[in-house]
Amino acid sequence: MEYEKCYVFEPDATRPAKRRKTEPQGLQASWRLRREGYRAAWAGPQARIEHALSSVHDESLDEVTRFLDEQVTPANGIESTRIPTGIVLTGPGGSSRGSLANRVADRLRSQPRRIYVPLDSTVTPNLKAALKRFIQRATSSTQGEDEDDEDAVATTRKGRRLLNYDLQILADYVRERKIEQVVLALHDTEAIASDVLSELVELLGSWRSRIPFVLLINVATSVDFLQQRLSRGAVQSLDGRLFDAVPSSTEVHQVFLALTDPNTKLWIGPGLLASALERQSDFISSADGVVEMAQYAYMSHFYANALSIFLAPEVKLKDVPSDHFDALRNLKSFWGYAKYLIDSDRVEAPERVRGLLDDNAQLFKEVQRCITEGQAALHRITETLHVIRTAQELLPGGTATLKTSLYIQALSGKLAGSTLIRSMLLSARKAPSDVVARLIDAVRVAMASIEDEPASNAAAEVQVFQNELIQLTASSKRGAKQQTLRSEDDIGSSTVRTTVVAQKVQLSKQKSELSKQDAAYTILVRKFTDVLEAYFSATLVDVQKLPFHEIFLFDLKSPHRETFTPRPRHAIERALVTPHDYLGCECCAPDKGQGDEATLSATQPATAVLYQLYLESGSLINVSDLWQAFQAVMSEKKKDEEQLMALFQRGVAEMRYLGFVKSTRKKADHIAKVAWKGL
Amino acid sequence: MRLSALAAQLQRLLRGIEKYMLVFDGIDRQREPPPTLLPALARLGEHVPGLTTVLIVNYPGPRFLHAAGIPHIQFPPYSRNQSIHILSREPLDIFTGDFPAELDYDDETHAEDKSWLWPRFCAAVFDSLGQSCARDYSSFRSVCHKLWPTFVSPIRKGDFGTRDFSRLLVAQRKLFQEESVLLDSILSPPTSVTTARRAQAYNLPYYAKYILIAAYLCSSNPARLDQLYFSQTSERKRRKKGGGTARSGGGKPSQQRKLPRHLLAPSAFPLDRLLAVLHTILPHDVRSTIDMYAQVATLASLRLLVRAGGFGGGDPLEAGGKGKVGPAVSWDFVKGLAGSLEFALADYLAE
């Protein structure tokens, strides 16, 4: 075939003997339905996330647009000689969705008298290119013309011929159309070369009297850094105002709230969320990673897990193939549920379990019920977290734990009865009556807003306490001054008494005198915390024990990890060290006695052999020595030197292509080692 | 090429005109001028009869016209009196907006007062700051304009009268002692006292900080000492501090004066060295995933890491490529990073 430059591929007319499976079979048969389910389930969170991310910037967006509006009509009629500049601190890797600059552009686009031109580092390799691009985009932005590079020289109405990087073109354009403002947005200021940036700013500064420029600069590192990079003239011609973009942690929080909305079909598990948040803070610091994680979790759940069919909207019994019910009966949580039913002493329990095992219709109904209940339970947990945070904020010296970390703890079943809750309740017991009054009120409000049974029951009880407390504090008025009631558990109300008996110091605690109201108050607070505790233990259930939680809770870390954080370097190194793992051939299989130890053998690919020799050598490799070693290894199998030499050369070329070696001028006949293993 | 065309065109245009002047202002501040441009412009008059060229330049270099005997006029910088005189011709307003009601005041007296106060203020600024730091007219003017609103604020408040110059000067003497007004900033000075000073820098992600510290260590430590500082087995050597090594014994100062390393320019290092150092300074093991390489690329786009020759093109992740820390990554910056991570930077830095 090599002698032909090209050829026509003519496939054999006959189909291969083995028929391809074009129709999905078994559990795969339901994938169309599941795809519909995915679309329905993801539509909600997607819309919520987009809305949250776009509204998170509203405040800073208003600030920036107000600043731009102010510049249109200069203050007290005097045009400043300096360019008004909005400096937006975005931080490294700001979110690409709904970013501030794009939204500013959207707002300005509706105004015909203002021009918005974004520039980034890819189009500004030098001043000429930057100006060319700037003028081109500015003059075409309101006309909506196609960009054409052909016209190198523009002709103005006066008949003068101007070079296409001459700002006079823009000045004429501004005058003709009575443009009030030209906003130039520089997205990645750090990546633009310092001299280009300085010259651009100086030049725009000198045209400021003819063209009403406003600069909008994104800064990812710091203002000082930007100022150091600019020339003195450029610094003098800028008149900056600082704006903060919303930190990415706020964005992430908004995304999290959108993902835990009450209508959520599929909930993200604690492990997955924890790893995504960790990755976010360790590496990227933008909310995009978390959004990607969520979408990928939805996709992998609906596309790979056949049981997700039960999450599809309005799924009917006849839509579900029967093998799905068999799969359902094999779930761990179903076994646990069946066992729990059998163990309960109810009379109808065995009948019911039998029914679930035999009758698909009954199981279908049960699954539907359990899923709804499970989703409701998860929602209850997030509501409870809100109550916990409200209480934490009000208690003395308490700072609210992040909602995400509470969620992770709660869903992994560690929150109920944790030290966090216990210490919170203890400090509530010690608190004086004014704090507790506020606490009771806040908790009652938070609980009353939740529409479900345990919360409304608890809210009713808390209501009773609130009334009692109001009566108590009213009766404790001593004279004109309202005094706060103290609890018996408060450390301040007990004193430590020291007595010396036979030269030994004895410490004894003594409760100070408490009034009748105080005693009543103590009982009340204790009852209140008991109710809270009961409420927490009722709602903070262990989600791993919910029946069929595999269907509505997704907590697999590895699909996300393998997809979003691959290890390219490690993969190549490993493949070259142990080619057998990938080829699966018999000839290279390691001997029984040697275990996993990688061994050199002639049957391995030439590049793999060379790589293992490469690992043993120093930073400079003598090619002749390498060839000798290679020959020694390979000669077991192939004796022909010409063939071996060809293999060797190809192997070395591949190593160079992969970036392991490079030629060096330090020593003749040597190649330099470039990459070390395991980095 | 173009200049000969210009000369020819000028010859054509100026035929019959007795005298014509061509003035080039600020011609020495051209962007990328060809080396022959200025001499050619200066000699245009030799080719075109009746043409005189005038070049206005700020800083004439020696022999920049490649010719001797050029007739020239030097304009010396303005003297103190001249500067103040020019600037006093356009006084700024004492009161902005409406005049305070308790003063019986109108526009005429305001104009009179400000033309009395402003020259005195300008003279005071020139004597305190301008003489040594802002002698040219434009910077003197900008300093005066910056200081004026603060200077007259007691008058606006009603603490002093408009003619109480000497008392005002004593009360506001801090203004003339501080030098911060001479420094330019891209941020305009805050018009009012803002509540909290905004952070002017952004927090980097966790691993980005460690990568920068590792890069700084690679840039400032010589590669031959890596084994000493980063090898797991030489723990004891590194901890030994102040005990003195064989070379530093005795009281005799070394023949070669050694500069502290953090004052030297950063040196280039290969990417693999950075990764190796990173793995040793991290307090825990880390899977080196694509995220780590993406972080290096991000830092490169922020110019915190820059390319410094070596193998491969502009790609910061090319195997065998060399990089170094950017100019913004100074000793203080890295010290701040290490402080926020509670990382003992001094233990790893070669002296």
| Chain A closest-CA separation from residue B96 CA (Å) | 10
Contact A230 B198 (CB under 8 A): no
From the list A559, A34, A33, A22, the residue with the least C-alpha distance to A305 is A34
> In this structure, are strands A83-89 and A213-219 parallel, antiparallel, or unpaired?
parallel
ipTM of the complex: 0.80
Which pLDDT band, with edges at 50, 70 and 90, does A175 fall under?
Answer: confident
Mean pLDDT along residues A608-615: 91
pLDDT at B297: 85
Contact B320 A674 (CB under 8 A): yes
pLDDT at B340: 87
Residue A223 with chain B: CB contacts under 8 Å: 186-187, 200-201
Which pLDDT band, with edges at 50, 70 and 90, does A651 fall under?
Answer: very high
Cβ neighbors of A491 (< 8 A, separation 6 or more) are: A430
Among A98-102, A347-351, B298-302, the least confident range: A98-102
Among A residues 241-270, those touching chain B with beta carbons less than 8 Å apart: 241-242, 244
Cβ neighbors of A8 (< 8 A, separation 6 or more) are: none
Mean pLDDT taken over chain A: 81
**What is the C-alpha separation between A316 and B150, in angstroms, rounded?**
78
From the list A607, A602, A611, A600, the residue with the least C-alpha distance to A650 is A607
How many beta-carbon pairs below 8 A join chains A and B? 134
Q: Is the pLDDT of residue A653 over 90?
A: yes
CB-nearest to A221 from B187, B202, B311 is B202
pLDDT at A648: 92
Among B residues 210-249, those touching chain A with beta carbons less than 8 Å apart: none
Among A residues 84-113, those touching chain B with beta carbons less than 8 Å apart: 85, 87, 89-93
Residue A238 with chain B: CB contacts under 8 Å: 186
Which pLDDT band, with edges at 50, 70 and 90, does A80 fall under?
Answer: low
- Other Cβ atoms less than 10 A from the Cβ of A322: the count is 7
pLDDT at A1: 53
Cβ neighbors of A135 (< 8 A, separation 6 or more) are: A164, A165, A166, A167, A169, A170
Mean pLDDT along residues A76-95: 70
Phi, psi of B215 (to 5 degrees): -65, -40
Which pLDDT band, with edges at 50, 70 and 90, does A610 fall under?
Answer: very high
Chain segment A526-579, per-residue pLDDT in tens: 888 888 888 888 888 888 888 888 899 998 888 888 888 888 888 989 899 888
From the list A298, A262, A529, the residue with the least C-alpha distance to A377 is A262
Q: Is the pLDDT of residue A322 over 50?
A: yes
From the list A212, A200, A111, the residue with the least C-alpha distance to A171 is A212
User: What one-character DSSP code corresponds to residue A513?
Assistant: P
Which pLDDT band, with edges at 50, 70 and 90, does A624 fall under?
Answer: very high
Which of A71, A189, A221, A243 to mutate to probe the B interface, most B CBs <10 Å?
A221
Whether the CB of B197 is below 8 Å from some CB of chain A: the reply is: no
Chain segment A285-316, per-residue pLDDT in tens: 678 888 889 999 999 999 988 888 888 888 88
| Chain A closest-CA separation from residue B346 CA (Å) | 24
Contact A565 B287 (CB under 8 A): yes
pLDDT at B318: 66
Chain segment A6-48, per-residue pLDDT in tens: 778 777 777 666 666 667 777 888 888 889 889 999 999 999 9
Instruction: Tell me the residue type at B64.
Output: F
From the list B287, B208, B278, the residue with the least C-alpha distance to A561 is B287
Q: Is the pLDDT of residue A115 over 60?
A: yes
Q: Is the pLDDT of residue A152 over 50?
A: no
Q: Is the pLDDT of residue A492 over 90?
A: no
**What is the C-alpha separation between A378 and A381, in angstroms, rounded?**
5
State the helix-helix crossing angle for A568-577 and A606-616, rounded to 10 degrees.
100
Mean pLDDT along residues A246-262: 84
Which of B32, B191, B202 to mutate to probe the A interface, most A CBs <10 Å?
B202
Chain segment A413-464, per-residue pLDDT in tens: 888 778 888 888 888 888 887 888 888 888 888 777 777 777 777 778 888 8
Q: Is the pLDDT of residue A245 over 80?
A: no
Among A residues 206-235, those touching chain B with beta carbons less than 8 Å apart: 219-230, 232, 235
| Chain A closest-CA separation from residue B252 CA (Å) | 38
| Chain B closest-CA separation from residue A506 CA (Å) | 44
**What is the C-alpha separation between A310 and A319, in angstroms, rounded?**
10
The pair of structure tokens assigned to A251 is: 């964005």
Tokens 């920068």: give the residue.
B212
Contact A565 B301 (CB under 8 A): no
CB-nearest to A565 from B208, B290, B319 is B290
Q: Which residue has the higher pLDDT, A1 or A333?
A: A333
pLDDT at B315: 65
Instruction: Tell me the residue type at B230.
Output: F
Q: CA-nearest residue of chain B to A90? A: B202
Whether the CB of A342 is below 8 Å from some CB of chain B: the reply is: no
Average pLDDT per 10 consecutive residues for chain B, totaling 351 residues: 80 84 83 80 82 84 76 85 88 75 73 85 86 81 84 82 84 81 69 44 80 90 83 56 47 67 82 88 84 86 78 61 81 87 85 70
Residue B319 with chain A: CB contacts under 8 Å: 658-660, 674-675
The pair of structure tokens assigned to A498 is: 């020291």
- High-pLDDT (> 70) share of chain A, %: 87
| pTM higher than the cut 0.90 | no
Contact B187 A241 (CB under 8 A): yes
Cβ neighbors of A31 (< 8 A, separation 6 or more) are: A24, A303
